[in-house]
Amino acid sequence: MEFGEEAKARRQRYYTRSAENPEVAAHAAAVLAGPEIMPPDYFTEAHRARALGG
């Protein structure tokens, strides 16, 4: 968990993108159910950049 304006802005980007793209929204499932339910490529820097913005 991160605090501060930068972290808040990053979360807002995630929420906006997840509303537009179910693939991005699936990250919430991994947080709740465990990373085993997601494909391994979801945990790469490339996917992180796509989900949260570079």
Comparing CA positions, the residue from 21, 17, 26 lying closest to residue 52 is 17
Report phi then psi at 21, rounded to 5.
-140, 110
pLDDT at 51 over 90: no
- Whether the pLDDT of residue 50 is over 70: the answer is yes
CA distance 43 to 6: 21
Tens of pLDDT, residues 2-38: 899 999 998 898 889 889 888 788 878 888 888 888 8
Helix (H) or strand (E) holding 51: helix 45-52
CA dist., res. 27 & res. 31, Å (int)? 6
Question: Hey, how many other C-beta atoms are within 10 angstroms of the C-beta on 48?
Answer: 13
Q: The whole model's pTM is what?
A: 0.59
Which pLDDT band holds residue 54 (cuts at 50, 70, 90)?
low
